[in-house]
Chains A and B, each alone.
Chain A
Amino acid sequence: MSETIETDALIVGAGPAGLFAVFELGLLDIRAHVIDILPRAGGQCSELYPEKPIYDIPGHPLVTGQGLTDNLLEQIKPFNPTFHFNEMVETLTPTGTPEQPSFEVTTDAGTKFKAKVVFVAAGGGSFQPKKPPIAGIEAYENKSVFYAVRRMEDFRDRDVVIVGGGDSALDWTLNLQPIAKSLTLVHRRDQFRAAPHSVNALQELIAAKKVDFRLGQVTAIEGADGELSSVTIRGNDNVDTVVSAHRMMPFFGLTMKLGPVADWGLNLNENLVPVDTEKFETNHPGIFAIGDINTYPGKLKLILCGFHEGALAAQKAHRYIFPDKKLLFQYTTSSTNLQKKLGV
């Protein structure tokens, strides 16, 4: 088990709200660690609409979801935030007092944090793999049915079935085929929405009979004690075939689930966290909620609102972290102090 990471501020979620909060906190000398279950920053903007234009970011007549994310990452660079990707925040436990809050935070990867304030910027919830509607699949999850590969060795010399036709499905087909005993790829059509070089490599493996490609879908699984033995594939011709399988990986993309945020003792209103509009603080002193995850009278789920919320929440965070320091209102345009922090 790793040692505890200490930080002033811990930000849950690397969407636009979480990213800009790094900036506003940084200007106030507050260092932040940022955790996201996704492998990269940007939240909905990079996950759902990286190529689509956004027209209502102040000062940017047009910027794409990915463009905005890249700009935010550039903007917060001077504050050197530490990102922890591919980790989901599971527990958030208050350990301090209302005047001097402090929190213990753990992730599903076992990382532990101690933070003085927590910014919940969890958006529409954590992005999690979609689970196919196959009866009894829960009993096999993380034992023989996986939505991500943590250990390649789990697949060595096994009959592996991969379901899907996107980049993840193809990448893992290509990666696992050399070590698996057999690899069956199941997809609903013979077209793949993936990088051309992966598609080419896959087609070569299929031609060489190293990957058994089946058109159709997995409709049932069989096994015992969480260990798969076979899966039933219903072909597009409606004929069922049973294929030996020790491991299965379904790749149907991601969906947003509120997830562990619900278990942190925060008030919830229809899956949103109510906050005040002065500090954007939750019912728990020291825990702030900004961006799409929060709610208050008049709330709009807009990126620009998340930016504003982060700026005001940072002011209150400063009072918790530096109770004796007076907060001076300054402009980045004219304050040499702020410019020094920004390295300009």
Chain B
Amino acid sequence: MVKTSLYDQANRYGAEPGGGAPTKAKITFVDSHGQARTVEGETGSTVMETARRNDIPEIPAECGGACACATCHVYVDEAWVEKVGKPSQMEEDMLDFAFDVKPNSRLSCQITVRPELDGLVVTTPSQQG
């Protein structure tokens, strides 16, 4: 699916890791057909940005991480739900605009990559927009 991507300049507006050399954390994205792709995310950036930089499908992230579009929706693997944590009020509100929201739903632009998330597994829904 070719989608107009607003955010080819994610670096320009996206949160960049502040201070010091960033460390890496492995993140596995499982798409809606079950195919898994494991990539390295820099701590301090977001899971959405990691997806975009690595051409992960099914995360159009139309608003570029502004928590304003809900097209970066992912399901956090049950084993990681606790470590990843709960969405903020603003994210909960935005999740109203995602489809098929489950208790382990998160917006990936609101998950910051941290060393303790090394090994994180998330699944993308079949439809975002």
Contacts and interface: CB of A to CB of B under 8 A. Distances in A.
A246 interface: no
Query: Which of A191, A217, A256 has most chain B Cβ within 10 Å?
Result: A256
SS class of chain B's interface: helix, strand, loop or mixed?
loop
Contacts of A256: 4, 6, 62, 129
Contact of A193 (B68, B69, B96): B96
Interface centre among B4, B66, B92 (most CB of A within 10 A): B4
A301 B6 contact: yes
Contacts of B97: 130, 166, 252-253
Contacts of B62: 48, 124, 255-256
Interface in A135-173: 164-166
A164 B93 CA distance: 11
Nearest to B101: A188
A164 B9 CA distance: 32
A158 B43 CA distance: 53
A258 interface: yes
Contacts of B55: none
B126 interface: yes
A133 B126 contact: yes
Contacts of A301: 6, 8-9
Contacts of B63: 48-49
Interface string B95-122: 1111111000000000000000000000
B127 interface: yes
A242 interface: no
A330 to B, nearest CB: 34
Interface of B: 2-4, 6, 8-9, 62-63, 66, 68-71, 92-93, 95-101, 126-129
Interface of A: 44, 48-49, 52, 124-125, 130, 132-133, 164-166, 187-189, 191, 193, 217, 252-253, 255-258, 270-272, 292, 300-302
23 contacts: A48-B66, A49-B63, A49-B68, A124-B62, A133-B126, A164-B96, A166-B96, A187-B96, A188-B96, A189-B92, A253-B69, A253-B97, A255-B62, A255-B69, A255-B128, A255-B129, A256-B6, A256-B129, A257-B129, A271-B2, A271-B4, A292-B6, A300-B9
